Amino acid sequence: MFSALDDHGVPCVLYRRSTKEIEHLKKGGPFYCPMCEEAVQLRLSTKRAPHFAHLPRSSCSYKGESLRHQKGKLMLFEWLHRQKLKPKLEHFLPAIGQRPDVYVEWKTYKFALEFQCSVISPAEVKRRTRHYQKAGIVPLWIISEDKVKGKPPLLSFSEFLRNFIYCFDNHLHFYTFSPESKRFSILDIHQSLSSRKILVRPRSTFLPSLSFPDLFRAREASIQWEWWERSVYRYRTTPILRPSGKDRQFLQFLYLNRIHYSLIPSVCFLPLRYQPLYDKPAHLWQTRAIVSHFLPLKKGEILRMPSIPVRDILGKKTIDLMDEYLEELAYLGYAVKKGECWYKQSDIPFSQNIEQALRQDKELMIQLKHRDDKP
Ligand SMILES: [Zn+2]
């Protein structure tokens, strides 16, 4: 870390100091970590910028910062500094006991930039996010590019990544940065293809060419229907050789309802805009909703589908995924909304064989793609 407190509790930041100044500081001291209040050492090395380090036995969460993290936050700090935004490096916020990598104010907003180079638990991300929000600060989590596997447009999706999704103007995206290449990316999410794959459109910029307000320009990334059809095709035609716990439960559910997984109706795979915010794959919850809450009803009966609330990282707005699903079913003519209630409009056809199921997928794809292509 680049900042520590001196004996009088005054912050001492190592950024932009001459070698002489730093050597002078090193003779002074002692210095303390503002987070855990333990003594820290001022270190000079040939490989790294001068920094403060915890003692080996410390259990502080700010101990053992990677070189990439150090480099990255310094670059983000300098990037904001060049835009005359007066950022603060490792600015300690005593009221919430947190110290963002870079703190900056812009217009009437306060931001905490966190350059995330290690995998931390969803609970920890949520905890820190809520603390910032309580203090009126918007956290901007930027993930180290090496933590994201795969090659755009197709990326590996993980519980870790799901935690950092922002929803601006109803469009989902997340941020990555690589200090090595200085590439900053805003990854707009088209859709999730399965629990482990996500389709994105990267907007990558060389950091010096990016402006801070660029981070808030939302762009729509529409559903890519060819990718959707391919992923459903793969699901229908690939044997589930090593089912996970969730898969096994689902297969059991299908078995009890006398449905083979290759013949699940196409409308049980609908790629919804907010699906990436939900940890359960679309076909798992949509099939259950259709089989348990739709099939047993007669036409005209009221639909009672369980709501599925999802939120982005900032959690300002709760979105009901089931509502989005019902809207799609309504477009396809299976459901209808009257007043506040949804009603069953018509039956969903089941395929008798795989060829029929694949044809149904194709027809659905053409219908919805045609709708989305309309200006
Ligand atoms: Zn500490």
pLDDT digit string, tens, across residues 272-326: 999 999 999 999 999 999 999 999 999 999 999 999 999 999 998 999 999 999 9
Residues with CB under 5 A from ligand 1 (ion): 33, 35-36, 60, 62
Q: Is 80 exceeded by the pLDDT of residue 74?
A: yes
Domains and CATH numbers, the chain: 1-63 (no CATH), 66-216 (3.40.1350.10), 225-373 (no CATH)
List own/partner pairs for 10-14 with CB under 8 A and 24 or more apart. 11/92, 13/89, 13/90, 14/42, 14/49, 14/50, 14/51, 14/52
Pick the more confident residue, 19 or 170.
170
35 burial via Cβ count (<10 Å: 0-12, 13-18, 19+): middle
Distance 32 CA to ligand 1 centre (A): 8
Of 198, 209, 214, 116, give the one whose Cα is nearest residue 157: 198
Distance 57 CA to ligand 1 centre (A): 11
Distance 15 CA to ligand 1 centre (A): 19
Distance 199 CA to ligand 1 centre (A): 39
Owner of token pair 């090193």 = 26
Highest mean pLDDT among 17-26, 61-70, 190-199, 319-328: 319-328
Distance 62 CA to ligand 1 centre (A): 5
Distance 4 CA to ligand 1 centre (A): 9
Distance 54 CA to ligand 1 centre (A): 7
User: What is the pLDDT of the chain when averaged over all its residues?
Assistant: 94
Of 27, 26, 30, give the one whose Cα is nearest residue 10: 30
Distance 86 CA to ligand 1 centre (A): 25
Owner of token pair 């929000």 = 133
Angle formed by the axes of helices 321-331 and 282-293, to 10°?
Answer: 70
Distance 352 CA to ligand 1 centre (A): 63
Show the beta-strand stretches assigned E in the chain: 3-5, 11-13, 31-32, 39-43, 51-54, 88-89, 102-106, 109-116, 137-144, 150-151, 154-156, 166-168, 171-178, 183-192, 197-206, 309-310, 319-320, 335-338, 341-344
Q: Which amino acid is at 249?
A: Q
Could you say which DSSP state residue 348 is in? P
Q: Residue 281: is the preceding peptide bond cis (ω within 30°)?
A: no
Distance 16 CA to ligand 1 centre (A): 22
Distance 76 CA to ligand 1 centre (A): 22
Distance (Å, whole) CA 225 – CA 369: 6
Distance 284 CA to ligand 1 centre (A): 44
Distance 98 CA to ligand 1 centre (A): 11
Which residues is 122 bridged to in the sheet? none
Of 184, 140, 146, 147, give the one whose Cα is nearest residue 166: 140
Distance 357 CA to ligand 1 centre (A): 58
Q: Is 90 exceeded by the pLDDT of residue 207?
A: yes
Proportion of the chain in helix, strand, coil states, percent, rounded to 5: 35, 25, 40
Distance 254 CA to ligand 1 centre (A): 52
Q: Which amino acid is at 239?
A: P
Distance 48 CA to ligand 1 centre (A): 19
Q: Is 80 exceeded by the pLDDT of residue 64?
A: no
Pick the more confident residue, 299 or 51.
299
Distance 112 CA to ligand 1 centre (A): 19
Distance 37 CA to ligand 1 centre (A): 6
Tokens of 241: 């050789």
Q: Is 80 exceeded by the pLDDT of residue 76?
A: yes
3-class secondary-structure state, position 331: helix
3-class secondary-structure state, position 93: strand
Distance 146 CA to ligand 1 centre (A): 26
